[in-house]
Structure 1
Amino acid sequence: MKILVIGSGGREHTLCWKISQSKKVNKIYCAPGNGGTKEVAENINIAANDIDGLLEFALKNKIDLTVVGPEEPLVLGIVDKFEDKGLKIFGPNKDCAQLEGSKEFSKKFMDKHGIPTAKYKSFTEYYDAKKALDEFSYPLVIKADGLCLGKGVFICNTREEAEDVLKNILKDRIFGVEGNKIVIEEYLDGVEASLLCFVTNGKIIPLESAKDYKKIYEGDKGPNTGGVGCYSPSPLFTSKLQEKINKSVLSKIIKGFEVDGLDFKGILFIGFMIVNNEPKVLEFNVRFGDPETEVLLPRLESDIVDLFIKTIDKSLQESDLLWSNKHCVTVILTSDGYPDKYSKGHEITIGELDDSIILFHNGTKYDEEKLVTNGGRVLSVTSLDKGLKQARENIYNNINKIDFIGSKYRVDIAKE
């Protein structure tokens, strides 16, 4: 088979790495890819949001399966366009992708189908939104409705902060059309958790659990990031909590898809806040998470290409997913200044890493023959071992063998 993976981050490198282990595959392309995907795939210089360019490439090269990494092409309707041409593609269609593409759409879906979530109201006009602040207590959350590269969510502790955020989004248009609408939500105080699931043919099949770290500094301090570390499995997902999630969330999502005529095929990423041991849904994503992918796929023992094909063909069963009992940890090396301003183009030197280390590239590229930084999150240093402590030690015994100007990382990932 010839496989096309779309995207350029750590998630896509991990997908290429896992796909390369399938005996069914003899060629992998990655568009546009990065310095790491180059090791297991042929990088193709087509942007992830260039739907027509990707479609032309897939048709010309007789691609047997396309796997979509990031959310933007899904929201733009890449699945619909590929399927119209008879191409196999893994990911939800444009209608289903609205669950991530529009915060209001997802909140309305939750409300309609009784899925526990925070109280909310949505607005398009600044003065209407400003007036509605009186209906919420502080802190509260304001979200731009569309895709904002992870920067569209604001926790406001005072009315003054909230008014400033509303002005920035609705009047100053800092997110352009993605901020044409905003959602004001009550703030949920609890423990954040996430669950990735395969969805197909009226079934929702959870993957193994993972815990990620979003804050840039040790002790979960500082601004949110796209994720700077992760481990799997997570002790938070006890059988009791999983039972509650199955009953109050997963069963209602599947029923909601049926009622609303949403033929969801792909990955549904559910972001939770666990409040007093009760799960409430913060958001939906419609693709693999990053860095969750970097710790889940090393633990997956099934042929991932089989899982993709069976999801598309609607024949996937829970028994198709086989998992290792080992623990997996990833620690992400970031550029100095991330998640705010940072510089790129710094040469990366990698010493001789132990066999216990798997290195996934997030933001790298080759400048002629030199591997250089090309993003805020640069490399995911990953280890799979029999215990969490050992996997963690493997990483911290090796991470200093990797160097570039401005290299940063947290030292407390998986410490608990």
Structure 2
Amino acid sequence: MRILIVGGGGREHALAWKLKHDNPAAEILAAPGNPGIAGIGRCLNVKATDVDGLLALAEREQVTFTVVGPEAPLSLGIVDRFRTAGRPIFGPTAAAARVETSKRFAKDLMLKHGIPTASARTFTTIPDAKAEIRRLGAPVVVKASGIAAGKGVIVAMSVAEAEAAVDDMLDAKVFGDAGAEVLIEEFMEGEELSLFALTDGTHALTMLGAQDHKRIGEGDTGPNTGGMGAYLPVSTCTPELVARVRETIILPMLAAMRAEGCAFTGLLYAGLMLTKDGPKVVEFNCRFGDPETQAVLPMMASSLLEPMQAIAEGRSIAALPALAWKTGAAITTVVAAEGYPGTARSGDVITLPSADPGVTVFHAGTATNAKGELVTAGGRVLAVTAVAPTLAEAQAKSRGFAERVQFTGRQLRRDIGWRELARAR
């Protein structure tokens, strides 16, 4: 078996790690991959957005099936191209990927089909957007409609902050084309939860819920990032809650997508707000989340390979058993480069600690320089995941290892999982 993984971040390293664990005899290929993935497979110099090059690679290497990590190639129609060529691939079509690539499309679909979410309106002009902000008052949420690398959502605590966000998106174009259209959305109060579901378009296998930390600073302060860490289990994510989300959100959304003629296959990520009125959708993503994947997959006791391959090959997963999970807890601490989430430094030499049982290091923004040294090559550099019997132990192991990682300007949060640990006290 030969599996091609498209992408080169921490999420893709975690997917490669898990699939290799499920079938040690499988050959892992990654395009473009990273130095961490190179330790368990072959990395090939094809960009994740080079759909023609990736299809040629899959055909040349006679890949069994392909797994798409990031959203960009999905938005470019990589799944459509591979399916037309008869190549098995895990992920949604470009039309189905609009659940993430167009927040307007997703919001309109949810409101049309009665899927619980916040009310919102879409704007392309500054005066109209600001008028809506003043109508709603603060707090209020301003979202870039397109793909903005996890940073296009501003939870504004004042009208002035919300109006500044509109200026940034529609005038200054800080998110480029992704912010050419903005959603002004009612503020939902509650606790956030990330829930993944593997789906063949009709049936769904839900995974363990996780919670990530978007803010750069401890205590969830400072600007939003792509994610500074994640943890599970989350005590509010009971089996009853997961069943409710599956029945009121996941399956209805899949039915809505089928009704719209764009059935969704692959991994549907539901970003949820647990409100006093029940779970509501903050947003959907069309792929595995980052860094939640790095926390979720090490807790998985059953095979990820089996349902992924079935979905990639267009087979039903209806007869597959529910996914099985290890006991204990996992915490992922992201180690970021100086300047992140703004302009991140690159090229700084990384020194990694000795291996630690129960700790797995997933590479995200890393590369090797001309001397063969491991160096920083992105905003989020490494994701350090620890699995332990308790959340407190997992936090201590993950934080301790991350603190021993050395490179100039290193950033990390030492409080990943703080809300859950506070509840347990």
TM tier, smaller: over 0.9
Structure 1 pair 24–110 and aligned structure 2 pair: CA distance change class (3 A) = same
Moved more, 343-352 or 121-130: 121-130
Looking at structure 2, the residues matched to 337 and 116 of structure 1 have their Cα atoms a distance apart, in angstroms, of: 37
Moved more, 119-128 or 105-114: 119-128
Structure 1 pair 400–243 and aligned structure 2 pair: CA distance change class (3 A) = closer
Looking at structure 2, the residues matched to 156 and 391 of structure 1 have their Cα atoms a distance apart, in angstroms, of: 33
Looking at structure 1, the residues matched to 98 and 216 of structure 2 have their Cα atoms a distance apart, in angstroms, of: 29
Alignment of 1:225-374 (within 5 A): 225-276=225-276, 278-312=278-312, 313-317=314-318, 319=321, 321-368=323-370, 369-374=372-377
SS of aligned partner of 1:21: helix
CA shift for structure 1 position 272: 0.9
CA shift for structure 1 position 414: 2.5
Moved more, 97-106 or 214-223: 214-223
Looking at structure 1, the residues matched to 405 and 86 of structure 2 have their Cα atoms a distance apart, in angstroms, of: 44
Question: Could you say what the CA RMSD is over the residues aligned between the two structures, in angstroms?
Answer: 1.9
CA shift for structure 1 position 320: 5.2
Please list every run of 5 or more consecutive structure 2 residues that lacks an aligned counterpart in the other structure: none
CA contact (8 A) 2:104 2:122 kept: yes
Moved more, 126-135 or 99-108: 126-135
CA shift for structure 1 position 250: 2.6
Aligned to 2:408: 405
Looking at structure 2, the residues matched to 72 and 303 of structure 1 have their Cα atoms a distance apart, in angstroms, of: 26
Which protein is richer in strand relative to its size?
1
What amino acid is the match of 1:413? I
Looking at structure 1, the residues matched to 151 and 399 of structure 2 have their Cα atoms a distance apart, in angstroms, of: 29
Looking at structure 1, the residues matched to 127 and 248 of structure 2 have their Cα atoms a distance apart, in angstroms, of: 36
Question: Which 4+ residue blocks in structure 1 deviate beyond 6 angstroms?
Answer: none
CA contact (8 A) 1:102 1:145 kept: yes
Alignment of 1:9-408 (within 5 A): 9-23=9-23, 25-276=25-276, 278-312=278-312, 313-317=314-318, 319=321, 321-368=323-370, 369-408=372-411
Structure 1 pair 246–90 and aligned structure 2 pair: CA distance change class (3 A) = closer
1:358-413 CA-to-partner distances (Å, cap 9, x unmatched) read 11111111113100011111111112222222222322343333211111221112
Please list every run of 5 or more consecutive structure 1 residues that lacks an aligned counterpart in the other structure: none
CA contact (8 A) 1:215 1:225 kept: yes
Looking at structure 2, the residues matched to 242 and 178 of structure 1 have their Cα atoms a distance apart, in angstroms, of: 31
Looking at structure 1, the residues matched to 62 and 146 of structure 2 have their Cα atoms a distance apart, in angstroms, of: 33
TM-score when scaled to structure 2?
0.93
CA shift for structure 1 position 336: 2.6
CA shift for structure 1 position 25: 4.5
TM-score when scaled to structure 1?
0.94
Looking at structure 1, the residues matched to 134 and 409 of structure 2 have their Cα atoms a distance apart, in angstroms, of: 44
Structure 1 pair 144–399 and aligned structure 2 pair: CA distance change class (3 A) = closer
What is the aligned residue count?
416
CA contact (8 A) 1:329 1:382 kept: yes
Structure 1 pair 132–413 and aligned structure 2 pair: CA distance change class (3 A) = closer
What amino acid is the match of 2:63? I
**Aligned sequence identity (%):** 38
Moved more, 304-313 or 107-116: 304-313
CA shift for structure 1 position 57: 1.3
Looking at structure 2, the residues matched to 36 and 76 of structure 1 have their Cα atoms a distance apart, in angstroms, of: 26
CA shift for structure 1 position 24: 7.0
SS of aligned partner of 1:372: strand
Looking at structure 1, the residues matched to 103 and 307 of structure 2 have their Cα atoms a distance apart, in angstroms, of: 29
